[in-house]
Amino acid sequence: MKNFSFSRTPLAGLLIIEPKVFRDDRGYFMETYNYKDCKRAGLNVRFVQDNQSRSKKGVLRGLHFQRNHPQGKLVRVIKGKVFDVAVDLRKKSETLGRWFGIILSATNKKQLYIPKGFAHGFLVLAENTEFVYKCTDFYQPEDQYGIIWNDPDLAIPWPLEKIDTTILSNKDRNWPKFRDYNFK
C-alpha cells in the first residue's frame, strides 16, 4: 500500500512528502512517517530526536544550521500554517546558495525533508501554529549557526503582506549574511 507521495524539488535531496489521508465521518487517519516507504524513495536516514514548537503569527525562526553536527530534518505543521525555507549550504552542490520555500499547514499536511547541509527557517502565518520535526543528529548548542533571514543575496520573498509585526529572537536578528561564511 502506498501511503506517501515523494516529490523532488529543484535542490537535490530536498523532498516534499505528502501522506495519504484516510477520511470518513469520524475524522481522518494518516501515517506521518514510515521508514520502509522512505527508504524505497531513497530517503535512508535514521532519526534520533523529535522536536515541537508553538509560535504566534509573525514569528520568524531561522535560518539555522549546525556545521560540525549537521542535521537532516523532516518537518511538518500539525496546527496552523508556515512558510518553510531551506537554503543549500553544500559547497560542492550546483545549487549552493539557492533556496526553496513551501507552505506547510495542518490543512495540506505536506512535509519537507531537508537533508544535512542546509540552513532552515520558517515564518509563522497563523496564530498558535505548532511545528514538529524529526532530526538525524542531536542538537548541539555550541554548534549553532545561522544566516540573517533577510539576506539580500538570498532574496527570499517572505510572505509578509498579512504580518503586522515580524517577531525574531536576538540571535535570529543578528546572524551574519550568507557571504560571510566559507561553506565546506
DSSP reduced 3-state for 55: strand
Q: Which of 33, 35, 64, 120 is catalytic?
A: 64
Task: Please tell me the pTM assigned to this model.
Answer: 0.94
Q: How far is CA 25 from CA 22, 28, 29, 37, in A?
A: 11, 8, 11, 27
pLDDT tens string 44-103: 999 999 999 999 999 999 999 999 999 999 999 999 999 999 999 999 999 999 999 999
DSSP 167: B
Q: How far apart are CA 45 and CA 136, in angstroms?
A: 7
| Domains parsed from the chain with CATH numbers | 49-180 (2.60.120.10)
Q: Where are the beta strands (DSSP E) in 38-143?
A: 49-55, 60-66, 73-79, 81-88, 99-105, 111-114, 118-124, 129-135
Q: Which of 28, 133, 139, 145 is catalytic?
A: 133
120 labelled catalytic: no
69 labelled catalytic: no
pLDDT tens string 13-34: 999 999 999 999 999 999 999 9
Farthest CA pair distance, the chain: 54
